[in-house]
Amino acid sequence: MRQTTKHQMILFICFVVLFGIFTKPYVTSGNSASRFATMQALIEENTLSIDNTMFIGNAQSFIINQTSPLMRRDSVEGINGTNDKAFIDGKYYSDKPITLSLIGAGLYSVLYHFFGLSFNNNGPLVVYILTFLLAAIPGALIIIVFYRLLYYCQMDNNLRFFMSALLGVSTLILPYSTVLNNHIPATLLIGIAILQIFNIRFLENNKDVRSQFIYLGICLSLTTVIDMVIGGIFMVFTLIYLLCLKSTRNLVPYFVVALLPAFILHAMFTIPLTGDLKPASMHPEFWDYPGSGFNVDTLTGVKIHHASFMDWLMYSFHSLLGYRGLMSYTPLLVIGSFFLIAEIFHRKKYFAEAMLIGTSSIFVILYYLLTSDNYGGWAYGMRWFVPLVPGIFFFTAFAFKKTGYEGWKKIGLYATVAWSILFALVGTYEPWTNMWRTPISFVNNLYLLLKELIR
């Protein structure tokens, strides 16, 4: 068996087990509940309306079968329902893009019709299985895709193995692979897209370029209908990148055509409901109902939320380096950003790819910094930025490829690794973090974790 094949098998098995251990058998957020509600409605009621699902209520404590709560915010209190729902023509619907819920509904259909399992009667088991299949498995696949991407970093296979494992235990990929969300599937698809981009340009004796253009289009279209901001921005800049490749420019139509199936499916379900391609979460008019948790002033992506430049500056600081910061929760990304910028500044081998990843990441970050003010709500770190991690982390690998670290540089590198792993591990306690205590999700999780350990 080739060493690279052996490495990938070991990585996949280990991370399936790791993510499986931490996968939650209860619904930890209204965000997850909103998606589960659509799955239940489609299979049990043959409708998109979630009115008759068990998730229709608003955050009320309850117990299933006299045992642990199916839904909870922390180790003590359970909740039943979701505030992530829109009111359209007298009925409630999930505000989420439909594609991920459709995939989940297909899986739930197998559990419901062939095994007799349901949310009402087997809640924790059903939630665990669906979360495992839709988050833990994609999370493990991210590690495999990243291992393959590191081929282009031209490093020793053992170092590739180490860096791939480090991605899985030192970033927010770890906690978010344990709960249902759209960020992990989007991260996997973005990772595959980046791998295809490198294959198209750099793979030696490449005889499958046309297929790679098609795979790239499929991945980015699926990303867009699962996470519209990340997917849409990467899709636009990828198209520009492909048009700049003179040797393969004639294959761009294959990329464009490959975008269509996912967009058509999204349109078939979304336009009849909202009137356009935008999900209900981007329509303030659907949130004007008694008990609504959101309005035009609190919804993300519908307006610029900051009253002053200083207000925006403070929010930006805490989103990147502070309370919920992308870099403060994963400082290894600071190193990656440094090497990414160096790749661009010195116009090295991967200049164009660094420009694509860097520019797309900046636009994604700016979008959320301008159109949100809640750091992603009750969540660990900045969940919206998770799909950016593999692209930046690829350049983090360049730091470990270097040799000769001595003194403070060596200590600093080890400290950065330890910090990143600690923050990722604490996040696994509750990725949808209880934010009542402090504005720092790490502190909140650590408090609840220690409280549970010592009681």
Extents of the domains making up the chain: 3-454
- What does the pLDDT average to over 329-347? 97
Q: Is the pLDDT of residue 305 over 90?
A: no
- The mean pLDDT of 383-410, rounded to a whole number, is 89
pLDDT tens-digit map of 10-67: 999 999 999 999 999 988 788 999 999 999 999 999 999 999 998 887 544 333 333 4
Angle at 353 between CA 149 and CA 364, to 5 degrees: 100
Residue 381 contacts residue 427 (beta carbons within 8 Å): yes
Question: Residue 59's pLDDT is what?
Answer: 46
Q: How would DSSP label each residue in 139-187?
A: HHHHHHHHHHHGGGGT--HHHHHHHHHHHHHHSTHHHHTSS--SHHHHH
**Cα separation, 350 vs 100, whole angstroms:** 33
Structure tokens at 417: 């690794």
Residue 323 has pLDDT above 80, yes or no: yes
Question: Where does the pLDDT of residue 428 fall: very low under 50, low under 70, confident under 90, or very high at 90 and above?
Answer: very high
In the block, residue with structure tokens 């993510």: 19
Whether 75 has a pLDDT exceeding 90, the answer reads: no
- Please give the pLDDT value at position 404: 63
Contacts 24+ apart (CB under 8 A), 241-245: 241/197, 241/352, 241/353, 241/355, 241/356, 242/200, 242/213, 244/352, 245/200, 245/201
Using N-to-C axis directions, what is the helix angle for 209-226 and 252-274, rounded to 10°? 20
How far is 161 from 164, CA to CA, in rounded Å?
Answer: 5
pLDDT digits (tens, 9 = 90+) for 133-150: 999 999 999 999 999 999
Torsion over CA: 269, 273, 275, 281 (sign)? negative
Average pLDDT over residues 301-313: 91
Q: What's the pTM?
A: 0.94
pLDDT above 70 as % of the chain? 94
**Residues in a beta bridge with 350:** none
- Work out the angle between the directed axes of helices 137-149 and 157-170 (0-180°, nearest 10): 140
What does the alpha-carbon distance between residue 384 and residue 227 come to, in Å, rounded to a whole number? 9
CB atoms within 10 A of CB 232: 17
What local confidence, expressed as pLDDT, does residue 240 receive?
97
